[in-house]
Every structure is written in C-alpha cells, then in structure tokens.
Structure 1
C-alpha cells in the first residue's frame, strides 16, 4: 500500500481525490499497489466539503502528516510560496518523495530542492507546475538524454491566451474581456501574476533551466505583459494578417542564452496562432529529434490533477529520472543581443515624441490619437532606452515583437 499525504484540498486537490476514487482498480493493476490518501492538510477543518474522505483524514496540523508512519509520498497543492517551501523541505528531509503543482516554489527554489532530492535518492516531481495537463517536463528530460535542446518556447498562461483570443476574434477591449475572464474563473480577482507575465516567467524559468541545462533565474528573463494592449492594437495587428500571443522563449546563443516573455505578433497561419482560448502549447527543438510540439489544457481541475497523479505513479513505478535533472552549464545572459522588428504604440501623440521615434520606424501606422509604428530591426534594449529618454511612462505604450 502507498500512503499519500495531501497538502491542500482546493480545486486541484479535489481533482486528485476524484480521480483516485474513480481509477483505483486501474491504478492497482498498473502499480501492483493500493494507493490511499492517509491525511489531508487544510486551513479550516470545519469547512463544509462535498468530498467524503472518511473519519480522521482531514487535519490542520502538518505534524500529523509528517509524523504519519504510513505516508511515503507528500503531494503539495497549497498554492502558497513560503509555507509550501517549508513543507517540501521537511518532507524531503524526512525521507518522503514529493509531488507539487506549485510553480512559484519550484521556480524560486529549483536548484536547492532538486539537489536535496537527488542527494537523498528521492523523487521531486512537478509536471503540473508548467503545463497543467500537458505532459511536457518528462518528455523534455527524456529527450535531453539523446539531444542538445537549443530552444524552448510556448504559450504558457491560459488567462492571457483567453483574453487575447477574445480580443482578436470579438473586437473587445482588454478591460471588458478581463472582467469576463474573472467571472468565468479564468482570471483571479487580482490578475497581476497572469496578465503581467509573472506566471509565464516562472514556467519559462523551469523549462529553460531544464532544456539548456544551465541556470536561468527569474531575474534573467526579460518581461512584458499584456495589460497595456488595446482594441486599437488588435486592429493594427489584424492589418498585418497576424495575431498576437504572450510567448515565453529561452534560446541557446554562443555559450549563453536569451530568455524573454513578451507579446509576440505572429502570422495567422503559424502554429501558435491556432492555440486559442485557455489552451497552452510548448515547443522544443533537439539536434536529433527535431521539433516537438505539445498542446493541451494548461489548467483546470482534472487536467492538472491528472498531471499530479502521473507524477505519483512515476514515483511508485520508479519510472522517473533518478539523478538531478538540472545541468551544470554556466551560461551567460545575452539578452542585450535580442533584436528584431517590433510593433510599438504610444498613447501620447506629442510632436516631439513622434519626431524622435521616427528614427527607428520602418513603417508608420498611425499618428492620430495614438502613435503606432513597425520598427526597423533594432535591439530590444535600445527601444526601452529611447522610450525612457523621452519620458514615455510604461502605462502609455504597448510593445510586441514581430515574428515572420
């Protein structure tokens, strides 16, 4: 029998319980063992829940879980950062394998927790932290055995993708779509982590560090979110026969790397253009396997719970990479070399700004209520420096790279 200590009984935790209850026979046939939730950690043990877990299963005391002799796997689904870090660290120190869906804790403590698990010959798996229901981390790690991975990129946040899709196809403005997304549960009451790109950044930090086998920290990634996009921008992008997505990309370059999360304008017939609504996709390229594409639900109760339980099964079966999956390459941050053509809109049609901005313009799209242009090929950092020198506040412009 395999005993599980489940930390958190929110949406994903409830999904884990639901799938376990439905698939007990199949799981036993595969693993040869019964899988049983022994304890569940919650904040409020008196809260009414529709899930029946039996007597004495729910607790608000982590000590009851960490000291439980029959629990061998800790499944951490609290969503908290610092508390979850302490839970995971104690679980590993006590000799338990750990599965988590918490991208924030994996991103912030990636090297430490990966090293700790490897030293203790324990599993530390986090498939659900990056792609929700998309199996991406295990295939990526397996591909690394036979390939050098030179680039990984993806649409990694369902909230942003939903907002951009609705704006593009329905002609709605950002605030209107965000409100709908919040009502439907796609966006949080405070959507900052999603719309400003931090969620995508954390996922790219994990993907990029694994793919390039060298540490890419959160602060190494250039970041632009989608909160400044307007219906006007969408109209200009449509005229280019293109659409726009928030794409994270980490790429190897001359013994270094570039890493960026940024609104990206892509042709309507390109691959990522067909990844719509709350769906996600990840693409990586290896020198032997070529390009591999992964598509599916990036979030949701059952898809994410499915990824969590796939990690649990891998631990039980021993079918995961036992060594520390993080490489030891020392890669130089070469983000200053990022260059290309960009779409730039400034909501301050001042004569002086227009005069100075024309020097980087390849095509002027509008000079009326907004200045909008397509730039010449230029380094990203040069655009930011120019905007800063002109006193253009971040709230007054929208910037997106253009990929042909």
Structure 2
C-alpha cells in the first residue's frame, strides 16, 4: 500500500481526494498498489467540509506526517510560498517524495529543491504548477533527451485569457469581467498575481529553465500585465482584424535567450487567437520533433488534481525522470536585442505628451480622448523609460506588442 500525506484541503486537495475515491480500482490495476491518504494537514481542524473523511485523518501538526514512517509521498497543495517551501524541504530531508502544485515555491526554489531531491534520490514533481491539467512538463522532460528546445511560448493563465476573451467578444469593461470571473471561480478575490502577469511569469520561468537547460530567473523576464486594458484598446485592436492575448515566451538567441510576458496583439487567424476563455495552450519547438502544441484547461479543481495524481502515479511506477532535470548551461539574457512594434495608448493626453512620443510613432490611431499609436520597431524598455521620464503613471497607459 502507498500512503500519502496531503498538505492542504482546499479546491485542489478536495479534487485529489475525490478522484482517488472514484478511481481506486483503476489505480490499483495500473500501479499494482492500493493508494491511500493517511493524513491531511489543515489549518482549521473543525471546519465543515464537503467530503466525507475517515476519522483521525485530519491534523494541524505537520510532524505527524513528517515523522510517519509509512508515508512515502507528500502532496503539497497549501498555496503558501514560504510555508510550502519549508514543508517541501523538510519532507525531502526526511526521505519522502514530493508532488506539488505550488508554482510560487517551484519558481523561487527550483534549483535548490531539484538539487536536494536528486541528492536524496527522491522525486520532486510539479506537473500541476504549469498549465493545470495539461501534461506539458512531463512531455518537455521526455523530449529533452532527443531535442534541443529552441522556443517555448504559451497562454499560461486562465484568468487573463477569460477576461480578454470576454472583453473582446462581449464588449465589457475590464472591472465587469473581472467581477464575473471571481464569481465563477476563475479569478481569486485578490487577482493581482494573475492580471499583473506574475502567475504567467512564474510558469514561464519554470518552463524556460527546463527547456533551455540553464537558469532563467523571474527577474530575467520582461513583464507587462493586462490590468490597464480598456474597451478603447479592444476597439483599436479589432480595427486591425486582430485579437489580444497575454503570452509568455522564451526564445533561444545566439548564446543566450529572450524572455517576456506581455499582452500580445495577434491576427484573428493565428493559432493562439482560437484559445479562448479559461483554456491554456503551450507550444514548444525542438530541433528534431519540430513544433508540439498542448491545449487544455489551465486551472480548476479536477484538471489540476488530475495532474497532481499523474505525478503520484509516476512515482509509484518509477516512470519519472530520475536525477536533477535541470541543466548547467550558462545563458546570457539578451532582452536588449528584442525589438517589436508596439501598440501604445495613453489616457488624459496633451499636446506636450504627443510631441514627446512622436519620434517613436509609426502610425497614429487616435489623438482625442486617448492618444493611441503603433510604434516603430523599438525596445520595450525604451518605451517604459520614455513614459517614466514624462511622469506618466503606469495606471494611465497600456502597452501590447504586435506580432505580424
């Protein structure tokens, strides 16, 4: 029998319990083992829950899991950065395999925890931290044996994709759509990490570091979120027979890489234009396999729980990639070589501001209530520095790169 210690019984934790109960016979046939959750760590032991649990299975004392000799796999689903890190590190040090969906922990401590797991000859798996139910990390690790990966890009956040889809299709304000997304469970009450792009950035950092076999940190990635978009911007984009998505992208360039998370204007007939609502999609390119596309629900109780249990199965069967999956390549950040045309909108404009940005303008779209331009090919940071020098607050402008 395989015994699991589950840390957290929120949305995903509940999904893990439900799938295990529903698919117990099938899992035993597949793995040759009965899989049982032995202990569940929660903050509030007296909280009423939607699922039936065995007596004495819940605990608020992590040591009950850490010191339990029969528990061989710890599934960390707390969603907390520093506490989650401490739980994972302690479990690895005590000889337990780890599965987590905690993208914040994986992104910040990827090298340290991967090294510790390899040193202890244990599993540290985190499929659910990127792309929800999409099996992207396992596929990426497998292809690395045969391919040099040269590019990874994707729509990696369901909340942002839902908001942009609804604004584009239903002509609603950003705040209206965000409120609906929160009611439907697509967005958290505090949606900052999603709409400011941090969630996408963390996922891209994980994907890029694995794909390029060299360290790409969070601060290596150019970042722009979607929170300042307004219906006026959507109107201008539609006139160009285009749509807009928040896209994360890492590309190999010479002996280094470029990395960005930015709202991106794409033609209506392009691949990512058809990825809508809360769906995610990831594309990577290898020198032998060519382009591989992955599509599916990027979040939600059951898709994410499904990815978590996929990792559990791989540990039981011993089918995961052993050792440290991270490479030792030394990569240069070449974002300064990255140039694009950009859509730029500035609210509350005046003649002085327009004259100041005239030099970077290729096409004037509007000069009335908002200044809107298509820039010449230019570095993103040049635009940001210009806006800063003009004293324009980041709440008063919106930037999106344009892909032709």
- Distance in 2 of aligned mates of 1:51 and 1:61: 21
Matches of 2:95 and 2:349 in 1, distance apart?
A: 62
- Cα distance in 2, alignment partners of residues 48 and 189 from structure 1: 21
Three-state SS of the structure 2 residue aligned to 1:73 is strand
TM-score normalised to structure 1 length: 0.99
Give deviations 1:308-361, integer Å, cap 9, x for gaps.
000000000010110211110010111111101100001132101111211111
Q: 1:17: Cα distance to partner?
A: 0.5
The C-alpha deviation readout for 1:219-245, integer Å capped at 9, x for no partner, is 111110000000000000000100000
Written as runs of structure 1 = structure 2, the 5 A alignment for 1:264-303 is 264-303=264-303
Report whether the alignment pairs 1:141 with 2:137: no
Partner of 1:402: 402
2:262 is matched with which residue? Answer: 262
CA distance in 2, matches of 1:330, 1:90: 30
Aligned residue in 1 for 2:163: 163
Q: Distance in 1 between matches of 2:42 and 2:391?
A: 49
Structure 2 match to 1:67: 67
* TM-fit CA distance, 1:370: 0.3
Following the alignment from structure 2 to structure 1, what is the Cα–Cα distance between the partners of residues 391 and 208?
34
Moved over 2 A (4+): none
Structure 1 residue 20 corresponds to structure 2 residue 28:
no
Give runs of aligned pairs for residues 354-373 of structure 1, distance below 5 A. Answer: 354-373=354-373
Q: Which segments of 5 or more consecutive residues in structure 2 lack a partner in the other structure?
A: none
Equivalent runs, 1:3-402 vs 2, <5 Å: 3-402=3-402
What per-residue deviation string (whole Å, max 9, x for no partner) do you get for residues 187-211 of structure 1?
1111100000000000001001001
Aligned residues: 404
- Structure 2 Cα separation of the partners of residues 279 and 334 of structure 1: 30
SS of 1:117's equivalent in the other structure is: helix
Alpha-carbon separation, structure 1, partners of 2:348 and 2:295? 39
Q: Structure 2 CA distance, aligned partners of 1:248 and 1:347?
A: 26
**CA distance, structure 2, for counterparts of residue 365 and residue 50 of structure 1:** 53
Q: Give the alignment's TM-score, normalised by structure 2.
A: 0.99
**Distance in structure 2 (CA, Å) of the matches to 1:170 and 1:286:** 38
CA displacement at 1:387 relative to structure 2: 1.4
Matched residue SS, 1:378: coil
Matched position secondary structure for 1:329: coil
Separation in structure 1 between the aligned mates of residue 264 and residue 371 of structure 2, nearest angstrom: 19
Q: What is the DSSP-based 3-state SS (H/G/I as helix, E as strand, rest coil) of the residue aligned with 1:190?
A: coil
Tell me how far 1:300 sits from its aligned partner: 0.5
Q: Deviations over 1:150-180 (max 9, x none)?
A: 1101100000000000000011111111111
Give the secondary structure class of the aligned counterpart of 1:316: helix
Q: CA deviation at 1:50?
A: 2.3
SS in 2 for 1:72: strand
- For 1:398 and 1:342, how far apart are their aligned partners in 2? 10
Instruction: List alignment gaps of at least 5 residues for structure 1.
Output: none
Cα distance, 1:139 vs structure 2:
0.2
